[in-house]
Amino acid sequence: MLLSDFKKKNELKIIQKIDCDGIRKQRLSNLGFCKGVDIQIKAFAPLGDPMIVTVGGSDCVIRKSDARFVVID
């Protein structure tokens, strides 16, 4: 399942892989999006984009256009 498709808040998931290359993968890695890391969806903007997630203990805001590259369990 992709992070961008997830609709429930406050459910803990595990990142399975980051399915992109280059600068986007580097940027996501710098934010803490790495394989095996716990991720929790905290909130959605009123129109659903962006979303606030907790990844590796830090809160982060991610657009759905970037979240579609994060595969979760």
DSSP per position, 10-55: S-EEEEEEE---HHHHHHHHHTT--TT-EEEEEEE-TTS-SEEEEE
> Tens of pLDDT along the chain (73 residues)?
898 888 888 888 899 999 999 999 999 999 999 999 999 999 999 888 899 999 988 999 999 999 999 999 8
Domains in the chain: boundaries: 3-72
**pLDDT of the residue at 39:** 92
- pTM for the structure as a whole: 0.86
**CATH level 3 topology of 3-72:** SH3 type barrels. (2.30.30)
**pLDDT of the residue at 9:** 82
